[in-house]
Amino acid sequence: MEILALLLFVSIFVLILYGYPVAFTLGGLSLIYAFCFLPVSVLNLLPIRILGIMSKEELMAVPLFVFMGIMLEKSGLASRLLETMALLFGRIPGGLAIAVVIVGALLAASTGIVGATVVTMGLISLPTMLRRGYRIELATGTIAASGTLGQIIPPSIVLILLGSVLNVSIGQLFAAALLPGLLLVVAYMLYVFIYARLRPHEAPAMPAAEVAAFHANNYWSRLFKAFFLPLLLIITVLGSILAGIASPTEAAAVGAVGAMLLTVLEKKWSYQVLTAVMRETTHLTSMVFLILLGATTFSLVFRELGGDRYLVSLIEQANLSVYGFLALVMLLIFLAGFFIDFIEIIFIIVPVVAPIFQAMGVDLIWLGILIALNLQTSFLTPPFGFSLFYLKGVAPPEVTTGHLYRGIVPFILIQLAVLLLVILFPEMLSWIKLG
């Protein structure tokens, strides 16, 4: 029976790699195994499991944050933020790339949707950076890495789903993720600054005339409009969660309403925009929840077949330490991130390993942050990094795949350094306490 559980796991993985729909592969194959190898009474537990999952109030944050992110994308917020930031840092070498990092962080804290952020920043900033004489590798690496910050900086959809699967507080995950996210932002900016100092011709400052015109033409008014409303939204959403005033779901509802108000103020509101945002939100949310239902079925059948007990006995026989098992799981997730999406990894791999970590006495909040950072790194790593594919899809013809691969390497090393810091110093995650 235990071997059948592992065979189920491997079969699902192989079918997903072949391109079968994830939700139906997870649920359908698990049901086939259940009918063939388990008592029919086991399936009586499935409706209870599904109702338990669907009644989780915190999962309502998923469609609300998705709606908020897509609505902000339609508002034109990113383009104005990037233009203002570029002119603000324009006097220093590498200023445009530093602006891209900051805007990436702000968009991550506003939307939490990686694909939309990478595509938006690629369309807006990459042609400008190349026109200004930036080295292609530096430009593409900065955009891909900054656009992926939405994986770790709250309100991250990754963290919401991880909180649901690990059965831990999503608010605590948000609080724990802030410092690693800020460390990544600072490290990216520091790398760009040092690179621009060493090679100023590959990351030139903006022309003095443009910067002077920006400072002379309603400088404070433009700065206020570009920053105040997005920052107010971020502070309202994240601040209310961290202060204990609102749950993530309540804060997500506030964020969705705030995103609509921003779109109205930007004069981008229309019935067509609302319809498009609602359609995209429904599509993404339906995909997530169908996978969640399939993963619930898989989790039930896997455990009834004794898969979790078998894995625990294997680890005990192998005499693996906590860090040895952690290294093995991190490597598995990293490699899986090359081939399948983060949602699939969270719902397939994490439910299998989480009970084992819990039995070992591992802090699941710490584990959740490590998994999120790991997924973010695999999103960037050649040859299959999803962020690189997103960026290549909107890049000018002169930008080759080789440019993308070479440009992302320094940022991957930064990611791995921050991941190692979190592993070695887990206490750094508790610097913010929920109110």
Q: Of 26, 5, 8, 53, nearest to 340 (Cα)? A: 26
Q: State whether residue 199 is helix, strand or coil.
A: coil
> What's the confidence (pLDDT) of residue 202?
85
Q: Of 134, 162, 195, 201, nearest to 411 (Cα)? A: 195
Dist. CA 49–CA 56, nearest whole Å: 11
Any domain includes 435: no
Residue type, 247: S
Any domain includes 305: yes
Any domain includes 360: yes
Dist. CA 95–CA 423, nearest whole Å: 32
Q: Of 107, 55, 57, 59, nearest to 80 (Cα)? A: 107
**Contact of 189 with 94, CB cutoff 8 Å:** no
DSSP 8-state assignment for residue 121: H
**Contact of 299 with 52, CB cutoff 8 Å:** no
First CA to last CA distance, the chain: 47
Q: State whether residue 167 is helix, strand or coil.
A: coil
Give the count of domains, the chain.
Answer: 1
> What's the confidence (pLDDT) of residue 435?
47
Any domain includes 268: yes
Q: Of 381, 390, 384, nearest to 415 (Cα)? A: 381
**Contact of 428 with 422, CB cutoff 8 Å:** yes
Dist. CA 152–CA 397, nearest whole Å: 31
Tokens of 229: 């409303």
- Contact residues for 44 (Cβ-Cβ < 8 A; gap 6+): none
> What's the confidence (pLDDT) of residue 141?
92
Peptide bond into 155 cis (omega under 30): yes
Residue 139 to residues 78, 119, 149, 262, Cα–Cα distance (Å): 17, 14, 16, 29
Any domain includes 83: yes
CB atoms within 10 A of CB 185: 19
> What's the confidence (pLDDT) of residue 434?
52
- Phi first, then psi, for residue 152 (nearest 5°) are -120, -30
> What's the confidence (pLDDT) of residue 366?
93
> What's the confidence (pLDDT) of residue 364?
92
Tokens of 155: 């309100």
- Contact residues for 86 (Cβ-Cβ < 8 A; gap 6+): 95, 96, 99, 125, 128, 206
DSSP 8-state assignment for residue 156: -
> What's the confidence (pLDDT) of residue 411?
94
Peptide bond into 63 cis (omega under 30): no
- Contact residues for 164 (Cβ-Cβ < 8 A; gap 6+): 53, 56, 58, 59, 170, 292
Domain span at residue 124 reads 2-430
Any domain includes 323: yes
Any domain includes 142: yes
Dist. CA 175–CA 431, nearest whole Å: 8
Q: In tens digits, what is the pLDDT along the chain, a chain of 435 residues?
A: 678 888 888 888 788 767 777 778 888 898 999 888 888 888 888 888 788 777 777 778 778 878 887 787 777 776 677 777 777 776 788 888 888 888 888 877 766 666 667 777 787 778 878 887 889 999 999 998 988 888 888 878 888 888 888 888 888 888 898 899 999 999 999 999 999 989 988 888 777 776 676 666 676 777 777 777 777 887 888 778 777 788 878 888 888 888 888 888 878 888 898 999 899 888 878 877 887 788 788 878 887 888 777 776 777 677 778 888 898 888 888 877 776 667 778 887 888 888 888 888 889 999 999 999 998 888 788 766 777 877 887 788 888 888 888 999 999 999 999 999 999 888 888 775 554
Any domain includes 197: yes
Q: Of 65, 159, 148, nearest to 100 (Cα)? A: 148
Residue 389 to residues 115, 183, 217, 392, 394, Cα–Cα distance (Å): 10, 25, 38, 5, 9
Does the pTM surpass 0.85? The reply is no
> What's the confidence (pLDDT) of residue 111?
62
